[in-house]
Amino acid sequence: MARIGIIGSAGRMGQALAEAIAAAGDTLSGGIDKGGDPLALARVSDVLLDFSSPHALEANLDAAVAAGVGIVVGTTGLEERHHFLCDHAAEHTAVLQTGNTSLGVTLLAHLVREAAQRLGEDWDIEITETHHRMKVDAPSGTALLLGEAAATGRGIDLAANSARGRDGITGARVAGSIGFASLRGGSVAGDHTVHFLADNERISLSHLAENRAIFARGAVRAAQWLIGKGAGRYTMPQVLNL
């Protein structure tokens, strides 16, 4: 049985993680929230699950490194600085950072990359996402993950080729760009669709999340997989051997 510690344990996702750990037959080594001691938790854990907040990430990564345990980072809203911190920590311990721990989304990203690679630039790519009214970041981490998959398939840089927040007289669509649109409302756990649109035909690849349990199950599977791995930056596709 793996000893899995949760950072961000009091929230809805933290509770779902605790249930998923029990269902998998593993041991919940403990849980902390704001003001808690991540190093103390890391020292009694085989692996950490971090679903807290971006501003807590540095301390959580430092704790994983100091204790010599792997860490799965599922916190969204990360900026370039946070990815640098993940890269630095990965020089010393196993770090798996992802915008979505769902196994279904992981497979969807694989299919999006394949479609983007095989379809020409005359196929426009637009990504739509819907989340509950309390979500604070947009586009969602999952939408950005899917955008990165599409950009990788096209061999382009997402940051230099994304279109967000269209409003007013925007002009014609820029060829080769990847568009994002975010909807917020109700209690939606997370719906994502990647649209490939060409003249006279369209392809839509979608994933609909009904509750947080799917993210928790995927996160626990990622944590189990990460135990014993050497220092490095790992991804969800590796968990599914994609």
Catalytic residues: 131, 135
Token pair of 161, please?
A: 């080729």
User: What three-state secondary structure class fits 179?
Assistant: strand
Q: How far apart are the first and last CA of the chain?
A: 26
Listed in order, strand segments (DSSP E) in the chain are 3-7, 27-32, 47-50, 70-73, 94-97, 124-131, 162-163, 178-184, 190-198, 201-209, 232-234
The reply to whether omega before 38 is within 30° of 0 (cis) is: no
Which residue's structure tokens are 């994933």?
Answer: 207
Question: What is the Cα–Cα distance from 83 to 76, expressed in whole angstroms?
Answer: 11
The secondary element (H helix, E strand) that includes residue 134 is: none
Pair 183, 129: CB distance under 8 Å: yes
User: 47 CB contacts (<8 Å, ≥6 apart)?
Assistant: 2, 3, 4, 5, 69, 70, 71, 72, 223, 224, 226, 227
